[in-house]
Amino acid sequence: MAVLTGKTLQESILSVRRIPVLYKEVYFRGYIDCYAEDWAPYLEPCIAKYPNYTHYFRSIILAQDNKDLQLCSETKKHINLSNNSICIGNEFKHNIIFKYTKQCIEKYNKKRKYVFMWNKNISHHNPYSSTAADEDTKQYILWMNSTGNLKNTVLVIMSDQGPRSGQFVETDFGRMTSNYPLLSIYIPHYVKKAFPTIAKILNNNKAD
């Protein structure tokens, strides 16, 4: 909520004015939009109204959770291959999301687009499993670079803070990550040259 509105959940719910959702600006400027998350939104529509995304991964996650939405017994059999929340069948959810967003980027190669993906299941219940996505994430970034997409793309990589309860918090790494989320921003060279103030502001606000 905070990423898309600049407000906390409580501020958004209690606001008497229309919530300034980032996607409204995306629509206004004519961008192709794509939103992919491995955990379907859990808030009721009366609390939070989700934007009408053009490309929305939510239906796939709902189909996995709702057996009535599965197309046939073979589909059900495939999905039930694994009860692990980080997989659909025999493939990691984060990899499926990577493929989904790649298709969007390739399909609209010549158009402006806003692609937002959020992988949380991979480490939400078990922080040690997050390493399973390391190589896949690296390959995704390398693909962005090798295909030339990074020449005209602002790439933001971010994470939530680490666990704040349980045995993991007692480790050195757990104590370090409990209050320190990741935020890494890549700005194309031509953007830095054309708008030097952007790079200057980001540099002034970077972590020491």
Do 13 and 85 form a contact (C-beta atoms < 8 A)? no
Q: DSSP readout, 125-160? A: S-GGGGGGGHHHHHHHHHHHHHTTGGGG--EEEE--
pLDDT digits (tens, 9 = 90+) for 164-207: 777 777 777 777 777 777 888 999 999 999 999 998 998 888 76
With respect to residue 168, please indicate whether it lies within any of the assigned structural domains: no
Q: In this structure, is residue 204 part of a structural domain?
A: no
Q: In total, how many domains does the chain have?
A: 1
User: Radius of gyration (Cα) for the chain, nearest Å?
Assistant: 19
3-class secondary structure, 108:
coil
User: For residue range 132-147, what is the model confidence (pLDDT) as tens digits?
Assistant: 899 999 999 999 999 9
pLDDT recorded at residue 40:
72
In a domain? residue 7:
yes
pLDDT digits (tens, 9 = 90+) for 48-79: 555 667 888 887 877 776 655 555 544 555 55
Give CA–CA dist 75/72, Å, rounded.
5
- pTM of the prediction? 0.79
**Domain assignment present for 31:** yes
DSSP 57-86: THHHHHHHH-GGG--SHHHHHHHTT---TT
Q: Is residue 191 part of a domain?
A: no
Its domain, for residue 70, covers 2-153
pLDDT of residue 156: 93
Distance separating alpha carbons of residues 179 and 161, to the nearest angstrom: 5
Q: Is residue 25 part of a domain?
A: yes
Q: Is residue 106 part of a domain?
A: yes
99 or 60, which is more confident: 99
Q: Is residue 183, in this structure, part of any structural domain at all?
A: no
